[in-house]
Amino acid sequence: MHVDVFREQANELDELRKQVQELDRLEKRLGELESLCGKYKVLSEELVSEISNHKKLLAEWDWFFQNSSEMLCVASREGFFKRVNPAFAKALGYSEEELSSRPIFDFIHPEDQQKTIDLHQKLAQGHENAVYFRNRYLHADGSWHYIEWVCPSVSSGIVNLYAIARDITERLRQEDEVLYRAMHDSLTGLYNRAAFNEMLDRAMARANRHSGSVLALYLVDLNGFKKINDNYGHSIGDEVLVQVAQRFRAISRDSENVFRMGGDEFAFLLEDFSPVKVEPLAQRIVAATEKPLVVGDTALNIKVGCSVGVSFFPNNATEAKKLIDQADSAMYKIKRTSKSGFEIFC
């Protein structure tokens, strides 16, 4: 009897011991879980904070992208715009959807396409650190705009191409206008004396490089032009110069350039190969001034005529000043006769 009770108590103690051990394990595990929970709570709060910061940075970048005055775009390696900002779309006159729905190369001038394709491939393959180039893009109104690009290459882990662009069409137009004004006469639109000096030097250099090449200089002075200004005024004189310039431009051919040197003085440069015939151009110049000019509100008929002196390089002269002096000397030989005509220096 006592043995049975003892055994029963022993079993109960053994069970109690097991339960206590399990309780210890559970309490220990609970402590671990509570510790982990605390750590995860801290990590979660940190993660939430980091996500919030990233969202703010993304929102700031998106605001910059949308509001930048620069043309910004994101393109795929396959050649499509994935995203363009409003400045980009506005510069070319399209909607953002129109730009993103067609291959990039559809908008590029045919003469610039292959160059752009080659650069795009190099950038996509990471063969270029950064590329600065320009090409022509089709504007929605049908005109071509010059676009200047700055494009860094794709680096490891980056799948898209990013670029900053700038429409430089107006800047180039202004530069061309400045250059045009520097090289052209403001009244007649002909090349001016500065252009004459530069083109004469180049023509002489070409003639020196190519054996048998000849350069002919024609200096032209209108006859009686001072009397026109004195009798009718400078506005009529200017109109005479404009009409003469139009006639000179009309008679000049591909190898012949015409210049207004100042006042009523003009010049022609003819580049050809020896033996060159100078008489045809000289005759055309004289004939262009002999036909009366109709000028002014009262339709005045004015005949001017001209004196033309011709000299050759390198036949007569080997330097610009001497060439000009010889043509000038020949021109005044005709002018002293008070008749229209031409004289070839010899």
d(CA 21, CA 13): 12
| Whether residue 264 lies in the annotated active site | yes
Name the residue among 251, 274, 267 with its Cα closest to residue 200: 267
The token pair at 131 is 């590329």
Measure CA 231 to chain center: 49
Name the H helices within the chain: 2-67, 86-92, 96-100, 110-124, 169-183, 193-209, 225-232, 234-251, 279-290, 320-335
Reduced to 3 states (helix: H, G, I; strand: E, B; else coil), residue 180 is helix
Q: Which of 4, 185, 264, 328 is catalytic?
A: 264
| Residue at token pair 């009770």 | 5
Q: Could you tell me which residues come within 8 angstroms of residue 340 by beta carbon, excluding any fewer than 6 positions away?
A: 223, 286, 289, 290, 305, 306, 307, 334
d(CA 198, CA 223): 27
The token pair at 133 is 């180039």
d(CA 147, CA 87): 13
d(CA 220, CA 202): 21
* Structure-derived torsion over alpha carbons of residues 332, 338, 344, 346, reported in degrees to the nearest 10: -60
The token pair at 170 is 């107006």
Q: How far is CA 115 from CA 102, 120, 159, in A?
A: 19, 9, 22
Q: How far is CA 283 from CA 17, 213, 273, in A?
A: 132, 22, 20
Q: Which amino acid is at 326?
A: Q
Q: Could you tell me which residues come within 8 angstroms of residue 247 by beta carbon, excluding any fewer than 6 positions away?
A: 288, 289
Asked if 107 contacts 137 with a C-beta cutoff of 8 angstroms, the reply is: yes
List residues with catalytic annotation: 264
